Structures are given as structure tokens and as C-alpha cells.
């Protein structure tokens, strides 16, 4: 008996007896001592023993015969499953059981580790949480969290909460110039669920799909998990370059693009290139997935029209997310689809996990409707521009001989190019060990190679703190023997 355990004593006794039956130590037909005797032996009250016996009897492990005490049920005679020695064996030692191929692939992928309590995070996807108007948010959430309606508490609508779909349609028209009907919009649990569901809907295992190189790793992960072969398309200063793809290649089923701000390199795709891709999709009968996740965060130059608008033939699915313009834990995003694909897409969403919590959708709708989103985006854009400037200044002053970084026109990170002999993935891991979090450009490549570099995020670090933050990075680098 473990009196320190949180489990009640009768439950502990129950578990022990049950395990003795399951392992065959107490074979079927065994007569047990009375609860009084057993209680005395174990040093517990009779009522505790009676409780334990009652559960065992109700579950069929024990049988009581009137006037004749309690027996182990007969079905336990020889059927006991042999208990293995260890309680938590390694996957490999589990008898006869092997992981599936794609299961093993998943096991090899490690998610970038990140401990929120660590001091200096330059993680590229981390927003400036100090900027988010949480008191407004609390009010909007509070407004909906007490509603006792089927609409709020029942299964979320398959296409998403109608008021949010309407708010997104208006937002896209007013702030992005995208003219889409409410009926074309489906709410998702972030861009990630959208991209994965699109793969499920648009591809079959073995299909070839095209992907920016370097590109959004989480998107390639969804492609691979859905059994697709991923063909990398190189990026230059105008964006993904169709001309560099060999002619004899089979046309991909789709191409994944981040035209507003190429992830991770940061360039905006030129209009001519956009037209190339739209023409390609129309000629080949392929899809374009346009991930527009943070086009609002642009500091210089104007936003070009989206592929969705340029395409007149309906080969573009436009994907958006509130992770960067609100905050990542909100888990709300959306897609704009040709209307005839909406139902298949909604089915793909319902298979992979359904729409996000209605409460989050309802509050997001109000956040957009009441103008808070626009205010927040404007404020973030201004502050992020200052933070980027501060980062670039400190990198130049403190690390100029080691890291070369130029301003980006959009997004939340710069590319810090390293001396060509440095292994960026190893360097990022070493920094992470010291609590300095960045991503290695090498992680974003499938095949081709690029010079080593780090993605250094600026959005989450106050400009005033930037000198110290970069100094911390410098010390970490020196500690690991880098001369900088």
C-alpha cells in the first residue's frame, strides 16, 4: 500500500488484486479470504476491503457464492495474458509490432524545441505579445462564453461560424482587395489544418507536388505525410522561378507559393512571375496554393494583387491565418476556394479534426468587425519596423563580422547570413542549448543547398532590449568557440 499515492486505498487494493488475476498469480476458481481477514492482514478497515471487492465483483473478476465466500471468476483460469517485465518498453522491443513507414518518418522528424521561459527568443514565428490588446480580447471572449445556445455549444458548423466567414469576406475585400463570396470561405484551425486538408483533397499518394525551395517546412511536412513526392522549385529575387524547372518534369498536381512574402527568404513575388504561375496552373490543370499568412506585415513597397485575384480560371486556393496578425495560440485561419470545392474541403476538415472552437471563432469575428484587427495590425507594423531596425543595428554593431543581415520589406524575421564554413543547423542547436532561439535556413531546404544562415526574428523583442538580446547571442557564440 502506498499511503503517499493520490489513489484511494481501496483502489490500490483493487488494482493489485486485479493485476494478480490478470497475470495468473490468482488463477480462476481461487477462493479468497474474507474481507475481515484480508483487511486485518493488510492493515486496512473492513469497509475498505468491501469497497475493493465490490468493484472487482461488478467487473467480473470476482464471483461471490451465497454463504460460500468469494472466488476468482472461472474465465481467468488459463487465459491470463503474460505480463512483460518492463512497463514501458521501447517501440522496438514491443513484440511483433513495427511502426508504419510514415509513422517512422514522423518519429524521425523532431519539432524545433522551444522553452518559453528562456531569455532570448528570436523565433521567427513569435509575435510581439506585449502589443496584443488582451483587455479588448477578454471583453469579446466574455461576450460569447456565457451563451447557452446550440450554435455556440453544439458541433461547430462544418464551414465555420457564419459571422466569422462574413467578417473574413469583408476584411479580404476592404484590406486585401480580394472579392470573394461568403460561400467560398471556410474557417480552419490555422493555416496548417488548411494546407493538410488541401493535400488530402487534391492529391493521391505518389502524386508529384511542387514546393518552394527553401520553403515553409510545415507545408512540406503535410505533403510528405499525405504520401506526395515533393519537387523543389528554386527561389530568386523575384520569387519562385518556373523557368528553372526542367521541361521534361511531369506537371505537379499543385504548387505551394508564398507570393506576398516568400517564406523564409522574404522576397515578394513579381507580377510577371505571378502571371507565369497562373498561366502554368491554367495550362497544366494544376492547383496553386497561395499562403498569404502575414501579407499585412509589410513595411516597404505595396502589396501586389494576390494570385487569387489574378487567376480568372479558378485554380487558386488562398490561405490565410490569424496566427501572426493576432496570436498563434488562437488557432484560427481560413481558405478562399472555388465554390464547387467547398464541400469536399469541409469534409476533409471534418475528417482531420473539424473546425476550431466556436468561441474562438465568434470572438475573432467581433475583433475584425469592430476594427480592433486593423488597429492592431497598424500598431504592430509600426513597432515591428522599429524592432527590425534595432535588430539590424545591433547585429551590425555587435556581430558585423560574423552575421550579415539585410532589412526585409515584410514579415517578422531577417536572414542572417553566416560565414560559408559554418553549419547553420549545428549552430542553431548550440544557440538553443544556451537559450537563444533561432531557426537554421538549412531546415527549410529539401534538396538544394544555400549558404548557411539563421532566421532571426525581431517581432517579439522590445527595441530597447535589443542590445542586450544580441549581446547574449554574441556571448553564446563565443562560448561555443565561434570567432565573432
Ligand X SMILES: Cc1ncc(COP(=O)(O)O)c(C=O)c1O
Q: Considering only residues 304-333, where is the footprint of ligand X by CB under 6 A?
A: 321, 323, 328, 333
Q: How far apart are the C-alpha atoms of 291 and 275, rounded to whole Å?
A: 16
Closest chain position to ligand X (CB): 190
Binder of ligand X out of 126, 196, 226, 258 (CB under 6 A): 258
Query: Could you give the string, one character per residue 152-191, with x where binding to ligand X holds by CB under 6 A and - elsewhere?
Result: --------------------------------------xx
Q: How far is the CB of 72 from its own copies (least distance, A)?
A: 12
385 binds its own copies (CB under 8 A): no
* 350 touches, from ligand X, its own copies, none (C-beta below 5 to 8 Å by class): its own copies
Q: How far apart are the C-alpha atoms of 235 and 299, rounded to whole Å?
A: 21
Q: How far is the CB of 14 from ligand X (least distance, A)?
A: 27
Residue carrying C-alpha cell 513579381: 270
Q: How far is the CB of 337 from ligand X (least distance, A)?
A: 17
* 263 touches, from its own copies, ligand X, none (C-beta below 5 to 8 Å by class): ligand X
130 binds its own copies (CB under 8 A): yes
Binder of ligand X out of 161, 165, 176, 216 (CB under 6 A): 216
Nearest CB to ligand X, comparing residues 291 and 366: 291
* 253 touches, from ligand X, its own copies, none (C-beta below 5 to 8 Å by class): its own copies
190 binds its own copies (CB under 8 A): yes
Binder of its own copies out of 30, 45, 270, 430 (CB under 8 A): 270
Q: How far apart are the C-alpha atoms of 430 and 473, rounded to whole Å?
A: 11
291 binds ligand X (CB under 6 A): yes
State the cell numbers at 80.
491470463
Binder of its own copies out of 16, 31, 50, 174 (CB under 8 A): 174
Q: How far apart are the C-alpha atoms of 228 and 206, rounded to whole Å?
A: 5
Q: How far is the CB of 338 from its own copies (least distance, A)?
A: 6
CB atoms within 10 A of CB 463: 18
* 258 touches, from ligand X, its own copies, none (C-beta below 5 to 8 Å by class): ligand X
Binder of ligand X out of 12, 51, 192, 306 (CB under 6 A): 192
Q: How far is the CB of 328 from ligand X (least distance, A)?
A: 5
Select from 177, 181, 160 the least CA-distant residue to 169: 181
Instruction: Calculate the CA dihedral of residues 163, 139, 383, 216 and round it to 10 degrees.
Output: -50
Q: How far apart are the C-alpha atoms of 86 and 109, rounded to whole Å?
A: 27
Nearest CB to ligand X, comparing residues 20 and 152: 152
18 binds its own copies (CB under 8 A): yes
Among 36-44, 103-111, 373-381, 440-448, which window interacts with its own copies (CB under 8 A)? 103-111
Residues that contact ligand X, how many (by CB under 6 A): 13
* 313 touches, from its own copies, ligand X, none (C-beta below 5 to 8 Å by class): its own copies
7 binds its own copies (CB under 8 A): yes
Strand 31-32 relative to strand 239-240, pairing = unpaired
Nearest CB to its own copies, comparing residues 196 and 258: 196
Q: In Å, what is the CA distance from 355 to each residue of 64, 187, 198, 436?
A: 50, 7, 14, 35
CB atoms within 10 A of CB 19: 12
* 127 touches, from its own copies, ligand X, none (C-beta below 5 to 8 Å by class): its own copies
- Looking only at residues 446 through 475 of this chain, which bind its own copies when binding is defined by CB under 8 A? 460
- Looking only at residues 210 through 239 of this chain, which bind its own copies when binding is defined by CB under 8 A? 218, 221-222, 225, 227
Nearest CB to ligand X, comparing residues 291 and 394: 291
Q: List residues near ligand X by CB under 6 A.
A: 125, 190-192, 216, 258, 263, 291, 293, 321, 323, 328, 333
Amino acid at each position: 500500500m502506498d499511503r503517499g499515492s493520490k489513489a484511494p486505498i481501496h483502489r490500490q487494493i483493487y488494482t493489485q488484486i486485479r493485476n494478480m488475476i490478470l497475470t495468473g498469480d490468482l488463477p480462476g476458481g481461487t477462493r479468497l479470504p474474507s474481507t475481515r481477514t484480508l483487511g486485518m492482514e493488510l492493515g486496512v478497515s473492513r469497509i475498505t476491503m468491501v469497497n475493493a471487492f465490490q468493484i472487482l465483483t461488478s467487473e467480473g473478476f470476482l464471483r461471490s457464492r451465497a454463504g460460500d465466500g468469494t472466488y476468482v471468476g472461472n474465465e481467468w483460469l488459463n487465459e491470463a495474458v503474460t505480463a512483460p517485465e518492463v512497463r514501458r518498453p521501447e517501440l522496438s522491443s514491443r513484440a511483433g509490432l513495427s511502426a508504419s513507414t510514415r509513422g517512422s518518418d514522423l518519429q524521425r522528424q523532431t519539432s524545433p524545441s522551444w522553452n518559453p521561459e528562456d531569455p532570448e527568443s528570436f523565433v521567427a514565428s513569435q509575435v510581439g505579445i506585449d502589443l496584443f490588446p488582451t483587455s479588448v480580447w477578454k471583453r469579446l471572449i466574455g461576450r460569447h462564453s456565457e451563451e447557452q445556445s446550440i450554435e455556440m455549444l453544439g458541433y461547430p458548423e462544418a464551414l465555420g461560424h457564419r459571422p466569422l466567414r462574413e467578417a473574413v469576406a469583408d476584411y479580404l475585400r476592404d484590406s486585401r482587395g480580394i472579392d470573394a463570396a461568403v460561400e467560398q470561405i471556410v474557417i480552419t484551425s490555422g493555416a496548417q489544418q488548411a494546407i493538410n486538408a488541401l493535400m488530402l483533397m487534391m492529391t493521391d499518394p505518389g502524386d508529384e507536388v511542387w514546393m518552394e525551395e527553401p520553403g515553409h517546412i510545415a507545408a512540406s511536412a503535410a505533403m510528405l505525410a499525405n504520401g506526395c513526392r515533393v519537387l523543389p522549385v528554386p527561389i530568386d529575387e523575384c520569387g519562385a522561378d518556373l523557368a528553372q524547372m526542367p521541361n521534361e518534369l511531369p506537371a505537379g498536381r499543385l504548387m505551394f507559393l508564398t507570393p506576398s512574402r516568400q517564406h523564409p527568404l522574404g522576397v515578394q513575388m513579381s507580377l510577371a512571375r505571378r502571371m507565369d504561375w497562373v498561366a502554368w496552373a491554367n495550362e497544366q490543370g494544376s492547383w496553386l496554393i497561395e499562403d498569404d499568412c502575414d501579407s499585412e506585415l509589410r513595411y516597404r513597397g505595396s502589396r501586389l494583387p494576390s494570385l487569387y485575384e489574378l487567376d480568372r480560371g479558378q485554380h487558386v486556393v488562398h490561405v490565410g491565418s490569424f496566427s501572426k496578425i493576432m496570436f498563434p495560440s488562437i488557432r484560427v485561419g481560413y481558405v478562399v476556394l472555388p465554390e464547387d470545392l467547398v464541400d469536399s474541403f469541409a469534409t476533409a476538415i471534418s475528417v482531420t479534426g473539424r473546425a476550431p472552437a466556436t468561441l474562438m471563432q465568434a470572438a475573432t469575428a467581433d475583433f475584425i468587425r469592430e476594427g480592433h484587427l486593423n488597429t492592431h495590425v497598424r500598431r504592430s507594423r509600426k513597432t515591428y519596423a522599429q524592432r527590425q531596425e534595432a535588430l539590424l543595428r545591433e547585429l551590425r554593431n555587435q556581430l558585423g563580422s560574423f552575421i550579415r543581415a539585410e532589412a526585409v520589406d515584410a514579415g517578422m524575421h531577417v536572414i542572417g547570413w553566416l560565414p560559408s564554413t559554418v553549419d547553420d543547423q549545428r549552430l542553431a542547436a548550440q544557440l538553443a542549448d544556451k537559450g537563444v532561439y533561432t531557426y537554421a535556413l538549412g531546415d527549410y531546404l529539401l534538396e538544394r543547398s544555400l549558404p548557411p544562415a539563421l532566421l532571426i526574428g525581431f517581432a517579439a523583442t522590445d527595441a530597447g532590449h535589443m542590445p542586450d538580446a544580441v549581446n547574449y547571442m554574441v556571448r553564446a557564440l563565443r562560448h561555443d568557440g565561434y570567432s565573432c
